[in-house]
């Protein structure tokens, strides 16, 4: 049942993939949670004893064996895995196949006290109880001869999570359907009896959020010389992480709260040691994290306002504030946003938890979210080689430091895409990475370093800065032309690029040889992405299309009714543009074009005059009409209307609106294209505009509260800058010309991502860190089962048990 992965590092760094495909029979059935226990194997037979976990710190001591207990939701059992022997244990060998210890319906959480592991506690969602199991039973090979559990503690509603107090005397149970938690006095449990749980109702008050104050010194390191590709990178530019005011950071305001319900719905819980020890409870309905004093759970403490419902938490130990400090003074709480799976970073206030504030963490997308590549399903803080009492900083001469060695405090996030992302919190090796002062690193390969707290760990280094992969090309009327380093193209109608100056935070990505920049791109390794950008002359506006346009002449005015919310797609007519303030970048747009893309339907007679005007001997005429006004009908039933400008027969090849109406009396497919500009789209970045419908009038306009760089059109002879790429392209094209500029951004440092599935479907359910052996364990409900990951000397998957 053990799959030993070869010594090759199974890392997927920004898109890399392993080749091996492994398929085999599964013994596990929907594993969901894992806990660890150490067994003393010296006694014979069933007398093996569960002993404190620290006994298993020495892997070479054969007397003790580290085990993992894995809940099997599909079987109502808990499986034991002997991690010392790399073996899944069959708890009853008399039964064919693998048998595990039955614990009740739908076990969702398992807890083994670290110091006194005599008993194991399992929360059963289906059985609505907490089972108490003699831990040694998991090691026994003939469990059927023994009683399975010594107690079943009924819960009033289904339990979903367990947490243990630091003194291991109190077990806390989350009861979402009751809006409460239950506490169980473990000291009162005997072989015969178990005490009833004490129910603690959770509060419903949602106070105002707390603004985050910028740190005095950011936790950040970028080498060499804090510059990449000639451009400043975030450590200097946005080191504080406080967007908007780089030079004079201001408090970061909390977001408006979002509710998913009006009563508490506790989810995952974590315990913060200290005086008093506190329990933090995520809430799937309210935008708060409940704070419970474990010394007296009946006394409610003010909650931490996080702004959104949350489903899972992870808390760090105390860590130093800066890279070189050794006194651990800071603690951070992470939470998964229950509405979208994003991850929030919170500075935890030890004295008054309610003063904890959500931090800005991302340079792209939502400011107050850790920038991960996919929604998170589970998070856990991992602390390899970390002792908060005496952080063991690296030695400057240590040549083993590098992005793949994890020593310190990190957040591990199990993502929906089946990978585990690592987020930097406190790296014991940071001061040595790239050299003490970004000079003469002991590891000669570790020259380029990007480390910033709450940001994904960069897992690769690059020798060059962010750059284009190849020369940009312009395709004009079917022929491709490279853009020379002076910006010229050889095509007769192919547009050229114009030299410009890169904006702060951007790097020159073309030309490669240092001539005047033609294309610039975001240099921030956490904001940049490898992707292909295209700028299409008079291209279609993505999303502004459909199959149900109706043409009409409303009181003689050419009008089109469509089914798509055109305002939100950024469609603007002449009147809409004229109403914009002159400083808005959209004020330079030309009116968009409404284009009929459907064919003349068969119901229109072959000899109809309109048909001959459209279906000419030279081919079909494209029917397009400049938009005069675009709007959402405020008093209607959600209709969207485009008032268009008619064409006259005086225009060469023109088809009038009346002719179009004659040939398209029924619903017709359509799209909107820009006029006199290029539509700019990234392969991983969606087309972006600031379009919105005015609430009062319904007229399409722009949302001025959004950043002005949120534009999707490159106007000829005007610098285009959407905050990610910047270039300027010449004009001179006719309406009927086709031209497209394309370039691919590469050389972007890749984030450290551990691929779990190995080309098999994956749904991660849990991550656990075992401080006894400093390894990380990932639970996959699908094929991989329990995956053991070594964290140093380099991150690698050791084995998996399924």
Per-residue mark of binding to other proteins, 211-250 (x: CB under 8 A): ----------------------------------------
Closest CA to 131 of 194, 75, 38: 194
Helix ranges, 535-688 (H) = 566-569, 574-578, 609-614, 657-663
Which distant-in-sequence residues (6+ apart) come within 8 Å of 190 by Cβ?
A: none
Closest CA to 424 of 382, 396, 464, 462: 382
Any contact of residue 14 with other proteins (CB under 8 A)? no
d(CA 739, CA 89): 65
In a 3-state reduction of DSSP, which class is residue 566? helix
CA 226 to centroid of chain Cα atoms: 26
Structural tokens at position 623: 């029917």
Helix or strand run (H / E) with residue 772:
none
Any contact of residue 763 with other proteins (CB under 8 A)? yes
In a 3-state reduction of DSSP, which class is residue 416? coil
- Let me know: does 32 contact 77? Beta carbons within 8 Å: no
- Let me know: does 159 contact 173? Beta carbons within 8 Å: yes
Find the binder of other proteins among 240, 383, 740, 782 (CB under 8 A): 782
How many CA atoms within 13 Å lie on the side-chain side of 95? 14
In a 3-state reduction of DSSP, which class is residue 724? coil
In a 3-state reduction of DSSP, which class is residue 531? strand
Closest CA to 31 of 75, 71, 69, 68: 71
Tally of CB atoms within 10 A around 81:
29
Any contact of residue 374 with other proteins (CB under 8 A)? yes
Structural tokens at position 195: 């005490």
Which distant-in-sequence residues (6+ apart) come within 8 Å of 289 by Cβ?
A: 280, 281, 282, 283, 303, 304, 306, 310, 313, 333, 335, 346
Find the binder of other proteins among 158, 343, 476, 725 (CB under 8 A): 158
Any contact of residue 365 with other proteins (CB under 8 A)? no
Find the binder of other proteins among 602, 619, 635, 651 (CB under 8 A): 602
> Between residues 325 and 565, which has the closer beta carbon with respect to other proteins?
565
Find the binder of other proteins among 116, 177, 213, 646 (CB under 8 A): 177
Window of 120-128, 506-514, 722-730, 794-802 that interacts with other proteins by CB under 8 A: 120-128
Any contact of residue 128 with other proteins (CB under 8 A)? yes
Find the binder of other proteins among 9, 57, 74, 258 (CB under 8 A): 74
Any contact of residue 680 with other proteins (CB under 8 A)? no
Least distance in angstroms from the C-beta of 112 to other proteins: 22
Any contact of residue 701 with other proteins (CB under 8 A)? no
Least distance in angstroms from the C-beta of 603 to other proteins: 6
> Between residues 15 and 478, which has the closer beta carbon with respect to other proteins?
15
Any contact of residue 284 with other proteins (CB under 8 A)? yes
Place of tokens 């929604």: 375
Place of tokens 């979402």: 176
Closest CA to 223 of 539, 9, 435, 56: 435
Per-residue mark of binding to other proteins, 291-320 (x: CB under 8 A): --------------------x---------
> Between residues 31 and 249, which has the closer beta carbon with respect to other proteins?
31
> Between residues 166 and 542, which has the closer beta carbon with respect to other proteins?
542
What is the number of residues in the chain? 802
Any contact of residue 257 with other proteins (CB under 8 A)? no
Q: Which of residues 726-755 bind other proteins (CB under 8 A)?
A: none
Any contact of residue 268 with other proteins (CB under 8 A)? no
> Between residues 39 and 687, which has the closer beta carbon with respect to other proteins?
687
Q: Is 376 exposed, middle or buried (0-12, 13-18, 19+ CB in 10 A)?
A: buried
Any contact of residue 105 with other proteins (CB under 8 A)? yes
> Between residues 126 and 653, which has the closer beta carbon with respect to other proteins?
126
Least distance in angstroms from the C-beta of 167 to other proteins: 29
Any contact of residue 71 with other proteins (CB under 8 A)? no
Least distance in angstroms from the C-beta of 108 to other proteins: 7
d(CA 449, CA 207): 40
Find the binder of other proteins among 57, 599, 759, 771 (CB under 8 A): 759
> Between residues 57 and 416, which has the closer beta carbon with respect to other proteins?
416
Per-residue mark of binding to other proteins, 534-553 (x: CB under 8 A): --------xx---xx-x---
**CA-to-CA separations, 138 to 70, 82, 123, in angstroms, rounded:** 11, 10, 16
# residues near other proteins by CB under 8 A: 63
DSSP of 109-178:
EEE--SS-TTEEEEEETTTTEEEEEEGGGGT-SBGGGS-S-SEEEE-SS---EEEE-TTS-EEEEEEGGG
Window of 119-127, 162-170, 298-306, 389-397 that interacts with other proteins by CB under 8 A: 119-127
Any contact of residue 73 with other proteins (CB under 8 A)? yes
> Between residues 155 and 462, which has the closer beta carbon with respect to other proteins?
155
Q: Which of residues 430-459 bind other proteins (CB under 8 A)?
A: none
Least distance in angstroms from the C-beta of 757 to other proteins: 5
Find the binder of other proteins among 499, 601, 653, 731 (CB under 8 A): 601
Residues that bind other proteins (CB under 8 A): 30, 32, 73-74, 105-106, 108, 125-129, 154-158, 160, 176-178, 260-261, 265, 284, 311, 339-341, 373-375, 377, 415-419, 542-543, 547-548, 550, 601-603, 637, 665-667, 669, 686-687, 756-757, 759-763, 765, 781-782
């Amino acid at each position: 049942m053990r799959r030993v992965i070869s010594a090759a590092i199974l890392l997927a760094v920004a898109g890399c993939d392993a080749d091996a495909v492994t398929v085999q029979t599964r013994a596990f059935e929907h594993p969901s949670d894992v806990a660890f226990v150490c067994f003393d194997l010296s006694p014979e037979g069933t007398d093996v004893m569960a002993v404190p976990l620290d006994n298993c710190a020495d892997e070479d001591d054969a007397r003790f064996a580290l085990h993992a207990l894995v809940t099997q939701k599909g079987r109502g059992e808990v499986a034991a895995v002997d991690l010392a022997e790399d073996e899944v244990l069959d708890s009853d060998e008399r039964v064919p196949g693998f048998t595990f210890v039955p614990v009740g319906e739908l076990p969702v959480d398992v807890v083994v006290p670290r110091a006194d592991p005599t008993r194991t506690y399992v929360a059963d969602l289906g059985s609505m109880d907490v089972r108490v199991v003699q831990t040694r039973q998991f090691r026994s090979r003939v469990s059927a001869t023994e009683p399975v559990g010594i107690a079943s503690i009924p819960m009033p509603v289904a339990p979903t999570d367990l947490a243990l107090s630091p003194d291991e005397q109190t077990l806390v149970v989350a009861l979402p359907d009751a809006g409460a938690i239950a506490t169980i006095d473990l000291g009162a449990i005997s072989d015969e009896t178990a005490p009833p749980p004490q129910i603690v109702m959770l509060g419903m008050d949602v106070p105002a959020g707390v603004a985050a104050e910028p740190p005095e010194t950011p936790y950040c390191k970028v080498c060499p010389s804090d510059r990449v590709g000639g451009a400043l990178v975030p450590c200097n530019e946005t080191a504080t992480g406080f967007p908007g005011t780089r030079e004079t950071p201001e408090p970061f305001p909390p977001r408006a709260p979002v509710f998913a319900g009006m009563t508490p719905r506790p989810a995952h819980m974590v315990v913060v040691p200290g005086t008093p020890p506190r329990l933090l409870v995520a809430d799937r309905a309210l935008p708060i994290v409940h704070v419970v004093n474990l010394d007296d759970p009946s006394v409610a403490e003010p909650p931490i306002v996080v702004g959104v419902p949350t489903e899972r938490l992870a808390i760090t130990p105390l860590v130093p504030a800066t890279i070189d400090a050794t006194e651990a003074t800071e603690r951070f709480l992470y939470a998964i946003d229950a509405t979208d799976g994003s991850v929030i970073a919170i500075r935890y206030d030890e004295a008054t938890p309610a003063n904890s504030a959500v931090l800005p963490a991302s340079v792209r997308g939502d400011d107050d979210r850790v920038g991960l590549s996919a929604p998170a399903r589970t998070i856990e803080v991992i602390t390899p080689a970390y002792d908060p009492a005496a952080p063991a900083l690296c030695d400057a001469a240590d040549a083993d430091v590098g992005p793949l060695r994890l020593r310190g405090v990190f957040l591990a996030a199990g993502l929906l895409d089946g990978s585990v992302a690592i987020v930097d919190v406190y790296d014991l090796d940071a001061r040595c990475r790239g050299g003490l002062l970004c000079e003469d690193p002991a590891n000669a390969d570790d020259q380029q370093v990007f480390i910033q707290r709450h940001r994904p760990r960069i897992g690769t280094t690059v020798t060059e800065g962010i750059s284009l992969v190849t020369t940009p090309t312009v395709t004009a009327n079917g022929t491709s032309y490279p853009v020379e380093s002076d910006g010229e193209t050889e095509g007769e109608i192919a547009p050229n690029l114009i030299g410009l100056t890169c904006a702060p935070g951007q790097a020159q990505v073309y030309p490669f040889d240092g001539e005047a920049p033609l294309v610039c791109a975001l240099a921030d390794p956490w904001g940049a992405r490898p992707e292909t950008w295209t700028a299409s002359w008079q291209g279609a506006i993505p999303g502004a299309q459909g199959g149900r346009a109706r043409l009409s002449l409303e009181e003689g005015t050419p009008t089109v009714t469509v089914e798509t919310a055109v305002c939100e797609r950024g469609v603007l007519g002449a009147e809409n543009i004229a109403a914009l303030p002159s400083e808005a970048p959209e004020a330079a747009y030309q009116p968009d074009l409404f284009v009929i893309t459907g064919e003349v339907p068969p119901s229109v007679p072959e000899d109809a005059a309109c048909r001959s005007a459209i279906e000419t001997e030279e081919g079909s005429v494209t029917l397009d009409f400049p938009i005069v006004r675009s709007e959402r009908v405020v008093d209607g039933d959600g209709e969207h209307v485009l008032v268009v400008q008619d064409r006259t027969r005086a225009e060469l090849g023109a088809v009038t609106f009346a002719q179009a109406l004659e040939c398209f009396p029924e619903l017709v497919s359509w799209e909107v294209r820009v006029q006199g500009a290029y539509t700019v789209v990234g392969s991983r970045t969606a087309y972006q505009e600031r379009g919105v419908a005015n609430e009062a009038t319904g007229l399409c306009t722009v949302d001025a509260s959004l950043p002005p760089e949120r534009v999707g059109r490159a106007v000829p002879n005007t610098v285009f800058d959407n905050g990610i790429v910047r270039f300027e392209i010449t004009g001179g094209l006719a309406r009927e010309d086709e031209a497209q500029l394309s370039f691919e951004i590469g050389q972007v440092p890749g984030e450290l991502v551990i691929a779990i599935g190995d080309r098999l479907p994956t749904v991660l359910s849990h991550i656990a860190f075992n401080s006894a052996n400093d390894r990380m364990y990932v639970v996959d409900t699908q094929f991989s089962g329990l995956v053991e990951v070594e964290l140093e000397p380099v991150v690698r998957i050791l084995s998996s048990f399924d």
